[in-house]
Amino acid sequence: MRIILLGPPGAGKGTQAKIISERFGIPQISTGDILRKAIQEQTDLGRRAKAFMDNGQLVPDDLVTGIVHDRLAEPDCSRGYILDGFPRTLAQAEALTESLKGQRGGIDFVIDIRADLSRLVKRLTGRRLCKNCQQMYHEEFNPTKMKGVCDKCGGELYQREDDTEETIVRRFDVYESQARALESFYASSGKYRPVNGDLPVDQVTREVFAILNH
C-alpha cells in the first residue's frame, strides 16, 4: 500500500505514520527526518538544507524530490510506504506522479490530516523526540514515564530547533501557501481522503484505519 500523509506541521503525520508503519509493515519515509539526519551527519545535502529548515522555509524542490526518488527505489519500499511530509508543493506532487509512472497503481491513498492551526502551536512547542529512535512524545499530551527519557529505548529526548513559536508561524504560512493546490491536485485523482486531526491520537488512527481497510 502506498500512502501519502498531508497536513500542517503538528497535525500528527509522524505520529500516525509510525502507527501505520507498524500495523502494515511498510516504511515511513519522512523527508524532515531524512533532512535532519543529513544536517546531523554534516553531509552536502545537510549543509544545503540547514538554513531553509532553521528559517521554517521549504528546502528547494529539486533537492527533496531527488531524495524521495532514490529512497523509493530501495527494496523495503517494494510492498509500499508512507510518505510523511512529502509532497509539500505542487511541483513535488507532479514530480512524484511522474516518477511513479510505469509502476503498477501509483499512490493508493492521500490522507489529509486536517487540523485547526491555532491549536497546533501547543502541540509543536511541546513536542519532544528521542535522539536515538526518533519516537515522538508531547510534554503534556503524551509524556514519557521518566522526564526526558524515551520509554522505548532509554534515549535522551530533545526539542526540534524549528519548534519555536516564531518559526512555527512561518511554517504555517508556508503550509497555507501550498495546501489548496495540493488538495485540488489529489482531489481530482479520487484518492484524496480528509480526516479530523483535532481528535485525540487513537481516534485519528481509527479514522485512518477505516480508510485503509476499506
Q: Residues in the site for ligand ADP, rule: CB under 6 A?
A: 7, 9-15, 123, 126-127, 136-138, 141-142, 199-201, 204
Residues 114-153 binding ligand AMP (CB under 6 A) are none
88 lies in the site for ligand AMP, by CB under 6 A: yes
d(CA 119, CA 124): 9
User: Is 88 an annotated catalytic residue?
Assistant: yes
User: Is 127 an annotated catalytic residue?
Assistant: yes
CB of 123 or CB of 193, closer to ligand ADP = 123
User: Is 160 an annotated catalytic residue?
Assistant: yes
Nearest alpha carbon to residue 62 among 38, 92, 23: 92
C-alpha cell at 117: 492551526
d(CA 180, CA 178): 6
DSSP for 67-105, written as a single string: HHHHHHTSGGGTT-EEEES---SHHHHHHHHHHHTTSSS
d(CA 49, CA 5): 22
52's contact among ligand AMP, ligand ADP, none, with CB below 5 to 8 A by partner kind, is ligand AMP
8 lies in the site for ligand AMP, by CB under 6 A: no
Residues that bind ligand AMP (CB under 6 A): 9, 31-32, 35, 52-53, 56-59, 64, 85-86, 88, 92, 162, 171
**Active-site annotation, residues:** 13, 88, 127, 160, 171
